[in-house]
Amino acid sequence: MRFGFLPPTRAVITKRFAAPRERVFRAWTDAEHLRHWFFPGDAAAEVDLRVGGRYCITKYAPDGTIEAMVGGTYHEVQPPVKLVFSWLGEAPDPDPSETLVTVELHEVDGMTEMVVTHERFPALTGQEGHAIGWHCCLARLAQLVEEASQYHVLVAHTEPCR
């Protein structure tokens, strides 16, 4: 008999924000806020914030074509503490592999500590690309929630994040 360990098929990202937990949660769950930080540039978001409700975030090219679209279903909604939702790449090249994202928000030392766990990747290399993407998204999220004017700023895109 042989015993072995499977390599992880998940990405875990922890980030702290100088913003109240409620503001960070709202940035995840309000369509207008979500579209400003999730994808840079021209984007749209739809949010039906309830267990069983769907979300969809779409990034558009300058010519109006869809560059990227992700969506899924909310499995758990606990304001302002936790979100659990499925993740599915819907366009332009649909990916049949549905994964799971858990967002946990904790109050730590007057800040909000967020732990994003993205799991159930079908391939061992899937988590690497998503981890890079999450770091870029969360950098834009930090700019948004830490901005004193609370969301009235569009977040500029800087390389290497796309």
Q: How far is CA 81 from the centre of its chain?
A: 15
Contact 139, 158 (CB under 8 A): no
Which of the two residues, 154 and 42, has the higher pLDDT score? Answer: 42
pLDDT on residue 94:
86
What is the spatial distance between Cα 116 and Cα 114, in angstroms, rounded to a whole number?
A: 6
Burial of 46 (0-12, 13-18, 19+ CB in 10 A): middle
* 25 CB neighbour count, 10 Å cutoff: 22
SS3 label, residue 149: coil
Q: Considering only residues 162 and 104, tell me which one the structure prediction assigns the higher pLDDT.
A: 104
pTM (2 decimals)?
Answer: 0.84
Q: How far apart (Å, rounded) are the C-alpha atoms in residues 12 and 21?
A: 19
Q: Which pLDDT band holds residue 155 (cuts at 50, 70, 90)?
A: very low
Burial 53-84 (b: 16+ CB within 10 A, else e): eebbbbbbeeeeeebbbbbbbbeebeebeebb
Residue, of 118 and 159, whose pLDDT is higher: 118
Q: Are strands 82-91 and 99-108 parallel, antiparallel or unpaired?
A: antiparallel
Per-residue pLDDT at 25: 98
For the chain, domains (ranges, CATH) are 10-146 (3.30.530.20)
